[in-house]
Each structure stands twice: as C-alpha cells, then as structure tokens.
Amino acid sequence: MRLAKLRLADDSIRVAEVTNEGLFKLLDLTQVDHARTLMDILNSPDPIGLTRFLIDAQSPLLDPRLVKVMAPIDRQEVWAAGVTYKRSQVARMQESETAASHYDRVYTAPRPEIFFKATPSRVSGPGEPVRVRADSQWSVPEPELALVISPAKRLVGFTAGNDMSARDIEGENPLYLPQAKVYNGCCGLGPFVLIPEAPVDRNATKIRLTILRSGATVFAGETDLGQMKREFDELIDWLTRENDLVDGAFLLTGTGVVPPDNFTLIDGDVSQIEITGIGTLTNPVVKAG
Ligand code: DO4
Ligand code: MG
C-alpha cells in the first residue's frame, strides 16, 4: 500500500491511498480522534488496517493533476546513515585527505555512521526546490531509501530521500559534516510512503538517480538495495539506542550512487530519484548567490 500527503485545490491537507494507476483515494480523517494526519496513521499499531478503515467510500478518485503531492512528513525528525555502500566509502576516501581512514573504518565497524539530517522545515517535497549552499562549489544529490520509523521504534514503511551534500565542505574537514549536510532545503522526501505487505526483495529494489540540465541527462546512475551493507533493523537499533523518537523519524540509509568527482550540481538542474515500488522524487535544484 502507498500513502500520500496532499494539498487540495481548496488548500486543505489530506491523506490518500495511491492506486496502482496513480490516482488518489482520500481518507476521512475526521472519523478517529487519534488519526488526524499521515504521521498519526504511520505511527499507529496497524497503519494498513487503519487506512482501510478510513478510506472515504463517498469520495471520487482524484486525478494527480488536481492536487499537490507534499513531502510525507509532519513532525518527525530526519536522520541519515552514511558509508553503507562500498561506492560511498570509496568516494568519501577520495574527497577527504585527512579523514580517509575514518570512512574506511566506519564502513566495517559494528557501529554505523548516523547523523542528524533535517527538521521538517528543511525538507522539500516533490516539485519543490532542493538547495546547493552558496558557499559550496562541489555539491551532489544523494539518492537514498528512507525508512519510516514509528515512536515504538518499528519499521513502518519506506520513501525516497535526497541527502543533498556539499562534498567540498565535508571533504575539507570531517568536523564540518553538519554544515555540509544540514541547511535550508538540504533534504528531499517523497513522493509516497510505501507500506509493504510482503518482505522487500532487496536485490530487486533499484535506486536510480538522473540529473537533468536544460532538459538533457548529465548524469544517470543506479544501484540496488542488495548492495547496502547494513540491515534495516541494525540501523534502527543503532539510531534508537539512548534516543527516543517522540514523533517517529525518517532514516535515510546512505547512498550507493555518486556522480564522478568532476561533477557538481548547478542552479537550474533537476534531480530525479526513482525507487522501485515507491515512485519518483523530482526536485529542481537552486543555488543562491
Ligand atoms: O560521512 C559522510 C556522509 C556519508 C553519506 O551521506 C552517505 O554515504 O550517504
Ligand atoms: Mg548520504
């Protein structure tokens, strides 16, 4: 089942199930006190059962052209794991003269790299701009599977994430990582949350990144979840040690697709991240200054 957070033409914010044809079936969020938002549904003990109960039988199927799909986040925090794919380990070791051994070690260490990525206000939904910092000359999108985690520390679902990264700032000094990773417009999420009804086939789940410039593809790359070194439960276990997620969280699981070292995003580029079973997250790229 896939769920979407939508803004309708009358400006109301609604939650919908996404049909296989890409139409939206609205939920009636007035029926149950504790289910007013997408986050309430995701954080409930049985999101699929609750969604089926809330489907508004009276409401017609909505055409996507009539609504705006929003980032599927309410009050959750956004966290990210790093160096979970060999490709990322190699890229980080190349970009950083001083910290190469840290990236090498964290790839194999029991404790993964986990960092705070974004608050909801820093997150862009489908069609909204993601940003390159004005003080970065080398920035890339990072296409990543995002885990949706409930306050009960349970893996509820998945969406696509864009961990925008300033590689020059991160490479200059590892202590600059928060500035390379966390800033206005630093994270994309969406378009939908997939709540799987069967175990996910990691090898068959592809993550594709396409970067368009003036309508032409300037970079395309892909990986699959089979290339990821860590288990989902392992990452959730480390994230939630000594760390309660009061409203739940999104956890980006690391990138396995890195454009070549001579590539940087520029103002006007478009980032497209497609993940099997979820959909495509498209964001224009903006660089101020
Ligand atoms: O330590 C750098 C960040 C790594 C990262 O974001 C990734 O591997 O996706
Ligand atoms: Mg990343």
Locate the ligand 1 atom nearest the alpha carbon of residue 89 and give its number. 8
280 shares a domain with 198? yes
CB atoms within 10 A of CB 288: 10
Question: pLDDT tens-digit profile of 194-250?
Answer: 999 999 999 999 999 999 999 999 999 999 999 999 999 999 999 999 999 999 999
Asked if residue 83 has its Cβ within 6 Å of ligand 1, the reply is yes
User: If DSSP states are collapsed to H, E and C, what string results for 58-92?
Assistant: CCCCECHHHCEEECCCCCCEEEEEECCCHHHHHHH
Least confident of 28-32, 73-77, 91-95, 160-164: 91-95
Asked if residue 82 has its Cβ within 6 Å of ligand 1, the reply is yes
Domain encompassing residue 215 = 77-287
59 shares a domain with 136? no
CB atoms within 10 A of CB 265: 27
160 shares a domain with 60? no
Asked if residue 255 has its Cβ within 6 Å of ligand 1, the reply is yes
201 shares a domain with 155? yes
173 shares a domain with 145? yes
Asked if residue 254 has its Cβ within 6 Å of ligand 1, the reply is yes
Last residue of a domain, one of 44, 70, 96: 70
* Structure confidence at residue 96 as a pLDDT band (50, 70, 90): confident
Residue among 205, 250, 253, 249 at smallest CA distance from 229: 253
| pLDDT at 15 > cutoff 80 | yes
Q: Which uninterrupted H or E stretch holds 48?
A: helix 47-54
Total number of domains in the chain:
2
pLDDT of residue 22: 95
Pocket test for ligand 1, best of 162, 255, 258 (most atoms within 8 A of CB): 255
Q: What is the mean pLDDT of the chain?
A: 97
Residue among 97, 70, 99 at smallest CA distance from 7: 70
225 shares a domain with 280? yes
| pLDDT at 114 > cutoff 80 | yes
Closest ligand, as measured to the CA of 82: 1
pLDDT of residue 288: 82
Residue closest via CA to ligand 1's atom 6 equals 82
89 shares a domain with 64? no
| Mean pLDDT of all residues in 55-82 | 96
- The model's pTM: 0.97
pLDDT of residue 117: 98
**How far, in Å, from the CA of 11 to the mean position of ligand 2?**
33
Residue 282 sits in a domain whose CATH number is 3.90.850.10
Locate the ligand 1 atom nearest the alpha carbon of residue 163 and give its number. 6
Last residue of a domain, one of 48, 70, 92: 70
Residue closest via CA to ligand 1's atom 1 equals 82
Question: pLDDT tens-digit profile of 124-148?
Answer: 999 999 999 999 999 999 999 999 9
183 shares a domain with 120? yes
272 shares a domain with 159? yes
29 shares a domain with 63? yes
233 shares a domain with 125? yes
| Residue 98 CA from chain centroid, whole number | 29
| Mean pLDDT of all residues in 254-269 | 98
Asked if residue 88 has its Cβ within 6 Å of ligand 1, the reply is yes
**How far, in Å, from the CA of 255 to the mean position of ligand 2?**
5
25 shares a domain with 106? no
Asked if residue 142 has its Cβ within 6 Å of ligand 1, the reply is yes
pLDDT of residue 42: 98
Q: What is the DSSP string of 90-159?
A: HHHHHH-SSSHHHHHHHHHSSSPEEEEEE-GGGEE-TTSPEEE-TT-SSEE--EEEEEEE-TTS-EEEEE
